[in-house]
Amino acid sequence: MTEAFPTFEVVPAVDMQDGEVVQLVQGERGTETRYGDPVEAAERWVDEGAETLHLVDLDGAFEGDRKNAEAVEAVVDAVDVPVQLGGGIRSADDAVELLELGVERVILGTAAVENPDVVSEISESHPGSVMVSLDAKDGEVVVSGWTEGTGLDPAEAAARYEDLGAGAILFTDVDVEGQLEGVQTDVTRRVVDAVDIPVVASGGVASLPDIRALKEAGAAAVVVGTALYEGAFTLGEAQEAVRE
C-alpha cells in the first residue's frame, strides 16, 4: 500500500444510485441530477487525467445495503487508477472483500462511528487502506446519510481515528455540499491540523479558487462532483490551477 496522495490531487466523484451516476444537493434523496453510466463516467475522468476515483454507493449509504455492487465491480475492472469506495460498508468483512476485489481504499463513515475498533481490525491486515469519512454539519459529525448528529467534534474525531490506524480522513462539509456556492476552509484546516495522515476535502467546490483554497488549508486532495459534471471547469483546468 503506497501512501495516499503524495501530491495534491483533484479526485472526481462517481456517486451511484440505482446503478446510475447522480449528484445530490446536501445529500438529500430526491434532489438528484442523473449523469448516466458509472463505467462511462469513470473512464471519462481517467481519460481526462484523474489519478484516483472516488466512488460512493448512495443506496448503501442510506440503507446499509450495497445495491450498486455490480456497478462498483464494473468500474474497478474498467479503470487502472486507484479507486476509493464508500457507502454501505458496515463490517470488516465487507471492507476486506472489497479490498481484495481491487478497491484501493475503503471509506467508513457510520460503521467507524458506531464501532471505532473496525478501523484497527481492517488496518491490521490491510495497513493504510481505511479512509474514515467525517461529515460535519454545524460543526458536528453526522452519520446515517447526514441525518443523525453524534456530538463529536470533527478534529477530535479525526485524531482518534488516526490513533486507531486510519490511513486518511475524508472530510465533508455538509453545510455547503452540492450547492455550488463555494467552500468554507476553517473546519477543514482544523481537521488537517489535528492529524498527520492525509485529509481529503469534499463539499461545495464550485470554482478553481475553491480548489486552491482547500489546498492552502492543507488538504491532501479534493473530491469534486457537481462542478465537474455541470462543466464549471474541466478536470485539466482544476489540476493546472493547483500545480506549483
Q: Which contiguous run of DSSP H or E holds residue 168?
A: strand 168-173
Q: How far apart are CA 52 and CA 92, in angstroms?
A: 23
Q: Is 77 helix (H, G, I), strand (E, B) or coil?
A: helix
Amino acid at 96: V
Cell of 109: 463513515
Q: Is 189 helix (H, G, I), strand (E, B) or coil?
A: helix
Active site residues: 15, 135
| C-alpha cell, 186 | 476553517
CA distance 147 to 101: 30
Structural Rg of the chain based on CA atoms: 16
Number of C-alpha atoms within 13 angstroms, CB side, residue 49? 10
Helices (H), 152-234: 154-163, 186-194, 208-216, 226-229
What is the rounded CA–CA span in Å between residue 92 and residue 114?
Answer: 13
- How long is the chain? 244
Look-up: residue for cell 430526491? 30
Residue that the C-alpha cell 454539519 belongs to: 137
